[in-house]
Each structure stands twice: as C-alpha cells, then as structure tokens.
C-alpha cells in the first residue's frame, strides 16, 4: 500500500500543533511543533512548506499522509483533517487517521516506563475527556474526578493548572513524544495495507451539545448536481 516515500504527519488535536516527516518504516526524521492555541489553520500550510524545504523533500515525493483524529479541540481537528485530506487527494497518496489519544498514551508510556496510564484532556470550558487504552474515549463532566484503579497514573494534556503537577509533567512528555508515536502507528498500518478511506475519515468526537445524538457518518446527506438539472425556460 505504501509507496515507500516519506510519511507527512499532522496533528492539531492539542493546543500544540505538530507536523513531522517520517520514513516509510515509521522512523522520525524531523518534527516541528508550535503553540497554535485554537488558530491551527493560519500557520499549518506554511509550516509544512518550510519543513519539506528544510528536509529537501518535494511535495510530490511524499508517500502517505498521517493525521491525528483526536480526541481534542474541534477547531484544530477540522483544520488538520481538512488539510490532510486535501494533501492526500492532491498527491494521490494514502491517508491514515491515527487516534491522538492512543498515541499520547503510547508516548507517555515510553517516557514513564511501566504502569497503567489514563489520559485526560479538556473538552469545552468545563468538562474533560478521559482515554484509557483499548477503551472508547468518554466524557468526564466538570466537577467529577476520574475513578483511577490502584496504580493508574494520570497523563494531563492541555490541563496545566487544572490537574496535578506530575500529571501535567507526564502530559508534557507525552506531547513531546507524540510525533514519534503517531508515525510508528501510521507506518505499521500502512505496511499492513490498512490505510483509511479518504472520504470517510472524520475526527473522533466525544462531546456534543446535550441531547444531540452523533449521526452515522453517511446519514442525512443528499448529493445533487452530478448531472445538473437544466434551468427552466
């Protein structure tokens, strides 16, 4: 499935945007991170252009695009996935969506050694989202604490000042190792021929306004205009 060219990674799920180039084997070749806040869209393409130039890689040389699917900030995820889709389409290369939460846990684990880890990230102004390995991410309403099993440690990302210091420190390490962890996952999936469907790839949403059910990806949309109706005389 992979064409053997370098993998371009984009993750905009956290307030620290990350882009990286990896070998087809998933090895980290170069990465750039910056504090994007909630304005990921303004710098992303220019940063990608510069990274490629610095590494002497032409856009057309890329073999695949990997992109973080969250959970994380809605704004960032939309920017990252829309950009990744545009690139994969323009270059006709495979796209792989990588769960940012799982990759943050991978990165934290390689930094912290052993021990069960639980990731917490902000969800809106008050709530938090909780990710355990192998489980679906779930919402932790504001004011409630995660129920940790004995020995489990918290990894807090984007929650500095709202979480224990050691959890925030571990979160910092997880963010530092995010690009390498995501590239490893992406390369493994590409090697296994497990790329995503370019059309159907969407971010992982955990929160929606109360009472709103998240529709199935193909639900409720009607496409028209493939053969345009003629104007009435």
Contact footprint for another protein (CB under 8 A): 39, 41-46, 49, 59, 74-75, 78-79, 81-83, 85-87, 89-91, 198-203, 205, 208-209, 212, 214-215, 217-232
Joined together, the tokens standing for residue 104 give 């943050």
Q: Cβ distance 207 to 123 under 8 Å? A: yes
Which one, 74 or 116, has the nearer CB to another protein? 74
Which one, 91 or 174, has the nearer CB to another protein? 91
Euclidean distance between the first and the last CA atom of the chain, given in angstroms as a whole number: 51
Which one, 26 or 203, has the nearer CB to another protein? 203
The Cα–Cα gap between 210 and 168 comes to 29
Query: Within its chain, how far is the Cα of 11 from the centroid?
Result: 4
Question: Please, what is the minimum distance in Å from the beta carbon of residue 10 to another protein?
Answer: 10
Question: Please, what is the minimum distance in Å from the beta carbon of residue 89 to another protein?
Answer: 6
Question: Please, what is the minimum distance in Å from the beta carbon of residue 103 to another protein?
Answer: 20
Which one, 147 or 197, has the nearer CB to another protein? 197
- At 91 the three-state DSSP class reads helix
Question: Please, what is the minimum distance in Å from the beta carbon of residue 22 to another protein?
Answer: 19
Distances (CA, A) of 224 to 92, 93, 195, 228: 25, 27, 28, 8
């Amino acid at each position: 499935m992979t064409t053997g060219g370098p993998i371009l990674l984009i993750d905009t799920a956290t307030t620290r945007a990350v882009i990286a180039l990896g070998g087809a084997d998933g090895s980290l070749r170069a990465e750039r991170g910056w504090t994007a806040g909630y304005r990921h869209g303004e710098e992303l393409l220019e940063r990608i252009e510069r990274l490629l130039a610095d590494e002497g890689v032409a856009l057309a040389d890329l073999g695949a695009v990997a992109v973080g699917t969250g959970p994380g900030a809605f704004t960032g995820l939309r920017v990252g996935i829309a950009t990744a889709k545009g690139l994969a389409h323009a270059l006709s290369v495979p796209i792989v969506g990588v769960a940012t939460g799982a990759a943050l846990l991978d990165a934290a684990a390689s930094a912290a050694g052993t021990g069960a880890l639980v990731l917490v990230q902000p969800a809106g102004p008050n709530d938090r989202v909780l990710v355990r390995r192998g489980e679906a991410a779930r919402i932790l309403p504001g004011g409630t604490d995660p129920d940790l099993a004995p020995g489990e440690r918290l990894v807090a990302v984007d929650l500095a000042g709202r979480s224990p210091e050691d959890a925030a420190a571990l979160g910092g390490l997880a963010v530092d190792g995010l690009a390498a962890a995501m590239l490893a996952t992406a390369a493994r999936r590409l090697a296994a021929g497990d790329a995503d469907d370019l059309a159907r790839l969407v971010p992982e949403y955990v929160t929606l306004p109360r009472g709103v059910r998240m529709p199935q990806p193909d639900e409720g949309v009607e496409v028209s205009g493939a053969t345009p109706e003629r104007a009435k005389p």
